[in-house]
């Protein structure tokens, strides 16, 4: 009896599969790890590209396996897996927690013992190698180049009746976002979700991507999180700007978020529980008179977690700094992004990425934190 | 006892969830359909945006449910679902086939009867409404505008030592792709996978996106399949070009693919089995002396299916025209994309989208089919 790992998914959507096989495809492929050997099963359509691109020990032809299965009277993907497992004498397997229950039910019906693997399926990918750290840093550097472009455009824009104009026409969230995306494309990045350029009340809703005219004297949140086409690693950073004059209240809020982020970064090191860092930020905000509470039926203040793991996935589990229990390890890479959101003042979020070490953490790439743009 | 539908997934990755709730989010959300009412359960972070954007009957606060569950001693997402189901007196539920088996195992352990729904979970979305047909047509029109740009750039390029130059520097796959992507961005589209611009031998590998210098007198496949930011519907079209002079063999191959596509489109109508259309193309290619066979260890000829359903997903099941049994219905929208791939000649693929009717099919938007570009 022999144990194996099985993934049946689309590499484009499954970072574990990409991590294991280094192969991109728009449709589902079958991947097997058995006795430490990686095996990829590909259709005729993917077979030749797979031989060139995939980093696995063996590539098998799906159509050959379908034929073999047919001869044994077995049908469909389950028939293929069954045929393969009988040849390899596999009876027990571990699959990702996200595996479709219909697949698992069918395998169990055939007598296989199926168990859930860890999440992520390859936990090693949460502990970044020097190469992976460099790839994330490179992505983050590109994010900051885009951030500099956003700041430049806001700097060049003119204020008329509190509305921003750039090169003579209204500067909308969409227009600024297009400039950022075009620039990222040029640098070899794609956005799996569009960057956030959200002003005013929109900035108080952390996942609102923003639309319409940008305005002076209020917060504009710019949150950029693209994926590198080649390395497939994400960057992720946020800065908050105010074109024109910020109110005293907004300035105080900005300063408080900035201090909270610095304090959090100073506390992060291996062995620390993420929830103590998150709680320290909550406490700091309270102390500075920025509490989190329901105002007019809407929760306002610090309404999200402090940070999430990042790598081949933008939001990478289980690394989180929030209310949950999670102890940081050397090699974890995590965002640090406290924010405050009040309908009356606006939204402020400042986000960087850090690499956790035994003694502290390293901020990967850097960019100034400055609210007002003249 | 009462039946319900449950989806726990990320709307960005799950078209059924987006279809049901009309809500975009980068993280997993909980969606319930019960007695015909749609209910979305959102975190504090998504709650306000959900109220504005989602098209559901009710939005519940996840944090309220977590509190409620905690009071009953229940933990995690399973605790939340259990709390919700007890309140709604739900004991049986239908979930998407892709639902994580760990979720389903946990629900079954709590005594719930969990069954797999159809695929797609909302089969209605395979039968396009006039509005949806229009959205796909609009996306396809944008694809053809991008195709016209590709043709224009190839037309403007100069040949030196068989290599293409544009505005004085080498025209690579990457450079042409960047121009297309930038143009699509401007029109309000994103590419979930990068467009294919593949020349020469690369064009014989249908999923190779292409890299390096483009060359004269050989095939260049341009396959563009972006998603509209607003409607979320995909377009998808392919044309094959040859800058300079095509060989007599390549011309014959192009003509054969073109005729095969026209023949397939003429055969498509409701009630027809997709496999008869696919087989007709295979037969036609054989008759014209373009067989599909293993040459030098590599399968060459017509090495993929004829078409796939398209809509909110780029490859939309179960609508397929290939070797499988599948009967077309009025309202299905499917690509028609025969191709021939031989290492000695090159790759040719021509792809359009059709809308299936009772009496035939309508090609959605159109673009010339011309191989040589002077």
Predicted confidence (pLDDT) per residue in A331-359, tens digit? 999 999 999 999 999 999 999 999 999 99
Residues forming CATH 3.90.230.10 domain(s) in chain A: 126-373
Distance CA A69, CA B207 (A): 26
Which of A100, A304, A337 should one mutate to test binding to chain B, selecting the residue with the greatest count of B CBs within 10 A? A100
Which among A13, A49, A205 has the least Cβ separation from residue B205? A49
B105 to A101: CB separation less than 8 angstroms, yes or no? yes
User: Minimal Cα–Cα distance from A359 to chain B, Å?
Assistant: 32
Q: Which chain A residues are closer than 8 Å to B207 by Cβ?
A: 25-26, 45-46, 49
In degrees to the nearest 10, what's the CA dihedral of A96, A97, A99, A101? 140
Is there a contact between B304 and A181 if contact means CB atoms under 8 Å apart? Answer: no
Q: How many helices (H) and strands (E) does chain B have?
A: 9, 24
**pLDDT(A1) > 70:** no
Instruction: For Cα atoms B56, B59, B61, give the angle at the middle one, nearest 5 degrees.
Output: 160
Distance from CA of A177 to the nearest CA of B (A): 10
Residues B55-100 have pLDDT tens digits of 999 999 999 999 999 999 998 899 999 999 999 999 999 999 999 9
Question: Sign of the C-alpha dihedral, residues B86, B89, B93, B95?
Answer: negative
A260 and A283 in contact (C-beta within 8 Å)? no
> What confidence score (pLDDT) does residue B271 get?
98
Whether pLDDT at A101 is above 70: yes
pLDDT score for B234: 98
Cβ contacts of A97 on chain B, cutoff 8 Å: 100-102
Residue B357, pLDDT score: 98
Nearest by Cα to B145 from B373, B374, B367: B367
A6 beta partners: A32
Average of per-residue pLDDT across A40-62: 93
Give me the pLDDT at residue B192, please.
87
Q: Do B116 and A101 touch (CB under 8 A)?
A: yes
> A49 at the B interface (CB within 8 A)?
yes
Interhelix angle A173-186/A130-156, nearest 10 degrees: 140
Q: Which residues of A touch B114 (CB under 8 A)?
A: 101
Angle, vertex CA B135, rays to CA B225 and CA B180, nearest 5: 30
Identify from A8, A26, A44, A118 which residue to disrupt to test chain B contact, counting B C-beta atoms within 10 A and taking the largest count: A44
Q: Does B207 touch chain A (CB under 8 A)?
A: yes
pLDDT of residue B86: 94
| Block residue for tokens 């449910």 | B65
Ranges of CATH 3.40.350.10 domains, chain A:
2-121
Contacts of A74 (CB under 8 A, 6+ apart): A80, A82, A83
**Measured distance CA(B184)–CA(A89) in Å, rounded:** 50
Query: A135-147 pLDDT, tens per residue?
Result: 999 999 999 999 9
Interval A263-277 mean pLDDT? 98
Q: What is the pLDDT of residue A105?
A: 97
* Any A CB within 8 A of B322 CB: no
Mean pLDDT of chain B: 96
Answer whether B179 touches A (CB < 8 Å).
Answer: no
In chain B, what residues touch A194 (CB-CB under 8 Å)?
Answer: 190, 229
Paired sense of beta strands B37-42 and B58-61, if any: parallel
Residues of A in contact with B343 (CB under 8 A): none
pLDDT number for residue A26: 77
Write down the pLDDT at residue B13.
86
Closest-CA distance of chain B to residue A366, Å: 25
Residue of A nearest to B210 (CA): A49
> Mind telling me how many Å the CA of A212 is from chain B's nearest CA?
14
Of B44, B185, B205, the CB nearest to A303: B44
Q: Which residues of chain B have pLDDT under 70?
A: 1-2
A to B CB pairs, distance under 8 Å: 100
Please calculate the CA angle A334-A293-B66 and round it to the nearest 5 degrees: 65
- Spatial separation of the C-alpha atoms in residues B86 and A28, rounded to whole Å: 36
Residues with Cβ < 8 Å from B95, sequence gap 6 or more?
A: A101, B5, B6, B7, B103, B104, B114, B115, B116, B117
Q: How far apart are CA B215 and CA B172, in angstroms?
A: 9
Task: For residue B141, give every residue at least 6 positions away whose Cβ sits within 8 Å of its Cβ, in sequence order, or none.
Answer: B235, B365
pLDDT for B207: 84
Please give the pLDDT value at position A109. Answer: 97
**Closest partner CB to B314 (pick from A26, A47, A102):** A26
Burial of B293 (0-12, 13-18, 19+ CB in 10 A): exposed
Do B245 and B372 form a contact (C-beta atoms < 8 A)? yes
Chain A residues within 8 A of B13 when measuring between CB atoms: 13
The beta-carbon neighbor of A303 closest among B12, B45, B103 is B45
Question: In A, which residues are within 8 Å of B206 by CB distance?
Answer: 45
Closest chain B CA to residue A64? B299
**Spatial distance between the Cα atoms of B353 and B147, rounded to a whole number of angstroms:** 15
Q: Does A20 touch chain B (CB under 8 A)?
A: no
A181 with A191: CB under 8 angstroms? yes
**Neighbour-count burial of B205, counting CB atoms closer than 10 A to its CB (0-12 exposed, 13-18 middle, 19+ buried):** buried
At what angle are helices A76-88 and A101-109 packed, to 10 degrees?
A: 50
Non-local CB neighbours of B43 within 8 Å, separated by 6+ positions: B27, B29, B62, B63
Arch. (CATH architecture) of B2-121 = 3-Layer(aba) Sandwich (3.40)
Interface touch A97/B99, C-beta < 8 Å: no
pLDDT digit string, tens, across residues A7-25 = 999 998 899 999 999 999 8
> In A, residues 230-289, which contact B (CB 8 Å cutoff)?
none
Inter-axis angle of helices B101-109 and B76-88, to 10 degrees?
50
CB contact under 8 A, A194 and B229: yes
Residue matched to tokens 């070009």: B241
Which of A101, A114, A225 to mutate to probe the B interface, most B CBs <10 Å? A101
Mean pLDDT for A86-99 is 96
Chain B (82-141) residues lying within 8 Å, Cβ to Cβ, of chain A: 95, 97-105, 114, 116
pLDDT of residue B113: 97
- Chain B closest-CA separation from residue A155 CA (Å): 23
Residue among A99, A229, A303 whose CB faces B101 most closely: A99
Task: Collect all residues with Cβ–Cβ distance below 8 Å to B159 and sequence separation of at least 6.
Answer: B165, B216, B243, B244
Query: For A186, which of B101, B178, B192 is closest by C-beta distance?
Result: B178
Type and span of the H or E element at B227: strand B227-228
CA A74 to chain centre: 40
Of all residues in chain A, the one with the smallest CA distance to B315 is: A27
pTM for the structure as a whole:
0.93
Residue in this structure with the two tokens 């109508």, named with its chain if needed: B269
Q: Do B179 and B154 contact (CB within 8 A), yes or no?
A: no
pLDDT at A171 over 70: yes
pLDDT of residue A181: 97
State chain A's mean pLDDT as an integer: 96
Closest residue in B to A119 (Cα–Cα): B102
Largest interatomic CA distance in chain B: 78
Cβ-Cβ contacts under 8 Å, B116 against chain A:
101-102, 105
Domain A126-373 classification at class level = alpha beta
**B15 contacts in chain A (CB < 8 Å):** none
Q: Contact A104/B101, CB-based, under 8 Å?
A: yes
Contacts of A186 in chain B (CB under 8 A): 178
- What's the confidence (pLDDT) of residue B2? 62
Which pLDDT score is estimated for B95?
98
Helix B274-287 vs helix B248-267: angle between axes, to the nearest 10 degrees? 150
Residues B44, A190: C-beta atoms closer than 8 Å: no
Q: Which residues of A touch B95 (CB under 8 A)?
A: 101
């Amino acid at each position: 009896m022999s144990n194996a790992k099985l993934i049946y998914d689309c590499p484009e959507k499954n970072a574990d599969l990409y991590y294991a096989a280094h192969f991109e495809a728009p449709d589902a492929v079958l991947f097997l790890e058995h006795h430490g050997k990686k095996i990829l099963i590909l259709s005729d359509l993917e077979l030749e590209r797979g031989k060139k691109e995939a980093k696995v020990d063996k590539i098998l032809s799906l159509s050959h396996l379908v034929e073999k299965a047919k001869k044994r009277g077995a049908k469909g993907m389950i028939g293929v897996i069954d045929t393969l497992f009988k040849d390899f004498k596999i009876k027990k397997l571990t699959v990702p927690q996200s595996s479709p229950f219909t697949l698992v039910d069918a395998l169990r019906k055939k007598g296989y013992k199926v168990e859930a693997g860890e999440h992520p399926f390859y936990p090693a990918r949460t502990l970044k190698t020097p190469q992976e750290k460099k790839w994330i840093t490179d992505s983050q550097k590109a994010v900051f180049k885009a951030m500099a472009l956003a700041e430049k455009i806001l700097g060049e824009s003119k204020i008329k009746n509190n509305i921003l104009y750039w090169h003579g026409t209204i500067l909308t969230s969409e227009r600024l976002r297009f400039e950022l995306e075009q620039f990222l494309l040029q640098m070899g990045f794609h956005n799996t979700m569009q960057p956030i350029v959200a002003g005013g009340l929109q900035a108080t809703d952390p996942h609102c991507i923003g639309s319409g005219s940008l305005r002076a004297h209020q917060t504009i949140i710019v949150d950029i999180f693209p994926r590198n086409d080649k390395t497939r690693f994400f960057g992720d950073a946020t800065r908050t700007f105010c074109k024109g004059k910020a109110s005293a209240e907004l300035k105080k809020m900005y300063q408080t978020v900035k201090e909270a982020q610095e304090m959090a970064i100073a506390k992060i090191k291996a062995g620390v529980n993420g929830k103590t860092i998150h709680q320290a930020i909550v406490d700091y905000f309270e102390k500075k008179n920025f509490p989190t509470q329901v105002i007019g039926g809407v929760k306002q203040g610090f309404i999200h977690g402090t940070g999430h793991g990042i790598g081949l996935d933008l939001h990478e589990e289980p690394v989180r700094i929030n209310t949950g229990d999670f102890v940081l390890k050397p090699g974890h890479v995590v965002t640090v992004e406290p924010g405050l959101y009040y309908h009356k003042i606006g939204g402020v979020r400042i986000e960087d990425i850090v690499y956790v070490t035994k003694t502290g953490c390293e901020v990967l790439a850097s960019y100034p934190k400055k609210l007002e743009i003249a």
